[in-house]
Amino acid sequence: MTKKMHVALFFGGNSSEHDVSKRSAHNIYDAMDKDKYDVSLFLMTKEGYLLSDTDSHRVFDGEDEDAVVKSVMPTVDASDPLANIANLGKIKDVDVFFPVIHGNLGEDGTIQGLFRLLQKPWVGSGILESAMAYDKDITKKMLDLYGVQNTKYVLLTPDNEGDYSYEKLAAQLGTRMFIKPANQGSSVGIHEVNNAEEYKDSLADAFRYDYKVLVEEAIQGPQELEISILGNEHPIASKLGAIRVPENDEFYTYENKFVDASEVHFDIPVDVSQKLADRITEMALTAYKGLGLKGMARIDFLVSKDDEPYLGEINTLPGFTNISLYPQLWNASGITYTELIDRLIELAIAEFNRRKQIHHDFTPLGKEKLSK
């Protein structure tokens, strides 16, 4: 009998997407072929502490997370600087890590750095690639470098925000604009702005989430299209999907995505011209390869009334909830949820083996080297 692969599923995190991550992890766990995989669970609490497999299962199976954390914390040695990851020592035989921590710590390269130190494969992109794609400012700079059309913007920080009034920005970007934290996901902290009062309040809220804030031009009457990418050096693209938000909402909000999606409609696949589909696919693959991404990404586009596509955002660890578009788009493209999980794990191992051939730091120190 073939030995099962041991997969460690990481979820939770200390970002605003904590609960979303828990739902994604449930779906991935349920879709995994248990004849192929033994799965350990590691819930990262909102405080950044990794629960053990046993305690993570307690939350997974329905216990109140706060109650579980409260019961565990008295056993933690707060003086140990590694206390928050101490439970990793209990799983020496893990074959591959599968992070589903959306947002901060999960998509920004942090957890990927931990996996690299542990010298194990992980699903998704590398440290630098994750960090670049997570930062909307850096992403846009890279998109410009590779000639991928995206919206105009002005970057604000606490040092320069006083130099920009609503009127000054409106002269550059138009009277209707969007304010976004540079490092945040799930539409958290994003605001539509149409006047000076909205600008002031929205900017203050966006700075709650990051010290860098983008003020972007608004595309008139946009259609939101999504595409899923899968692969390493030779990625493939799914069919396109579309999101139709409630009439009173100007964009796909956090509430639309995760709280109440009853009025959100998905067209999967969407009926668009072949010319537009080909152009978006080419732009998505160019961005994916230009940023050096691996494993997976969901890439969001805005299409103007005259069929001009603008790349909006790249998500390197997209959602896997019941209404998440990444797996839905692949299902519409002929890859089932379970097959998708298999492919992502295979890609993780392939990328690890590729890196191992060129990086000596992937070879653990043996007793011979330690004794010299």
Please give the C-alpha separations between residue 44 and each of 12, 18, 192, in angstroms, as whole numbers: 5, 9, 32
Indicate where the chain has its CATH 3.30.470.20 domain(s).
223-356
Nearest CA among 142, 94, 144 for reference residue 119: 94
Class of domain 152-217: alpha beta
Class of domain 223-356: alpha beta
Check: CB of residue 112 under 8 Å from CB of residue 98. no
To the query of whether residue 130 is one of the catalytic residues in this protein, the response is no
- Determine the Cα–Cα distance for residues 15 and 10; give it in Å rounded to an integer: 14
Q: In order along the chain (372 residues), what is the average pLDDT of each group of 10 residues?
A: 88 88 95 95 92 94 94 86 85 92 90 93 97 96 97 96 94 96 77 95 92 94 94 97 71 49 79 96 98 98 95 94 92 96 98 83 50 42
- In 1-101, where do the E strands start and end? 5-12, 37-44, 96-99
Indicate where the chain has its CATH 3.40.50.20 domain(s).
5-106
To the query of whether residue 24 is one of the catalytic residues in this protein, the response is no
Residue 168 neighbours by CB under 8 Å, 6+ apart: none
* pLDDT score at 177: 96
* pLDDT score at 88: 84
- In the chain, where do the E strands start and end? 5-12, 37-44, 96-99, 153-156, 177-181, 191-193, 213-217, 223-231, 236-237, 241-244, 265-267, 295-303, 309-315
Residues belonging to the binding site for Mg(2+) are 300, 313, 315
To the query of whether residue 186 is one of the catalytic residues in this protein, the response is yes
Nearest CA among 115, 112, 90, 110 for reference residue 40: 90
Q: Exposed e or buried b for every residue in 277-312, given b needs 16+ CB within 10 A?
A: bebbbebbbebbbebbbbbbbbbbbbbeeeeebbbb
* Active-site entry in 56, 202, 324, 333: 324
* Active-site entry in 15, 16, 17, 56: 17
- Please compute, for residue 253, the number of CA atoms within 13 A of its CA located in the half-sphere on the CB side: 15
Residues belonging to the binding site are 300, 313, 315
CATH number of 5-106: 3.40.50.20
Which two structure tokens, joined as six digits, stand for 80? 């140990």
* pLDDT score at 255: 52
* pLDDT score at 258: 46
Amino acid at 151: T
Residue found by looking up tokens 């097959």 in the block = 339
* Active-site entry in 21, 56, 130, 186: 186
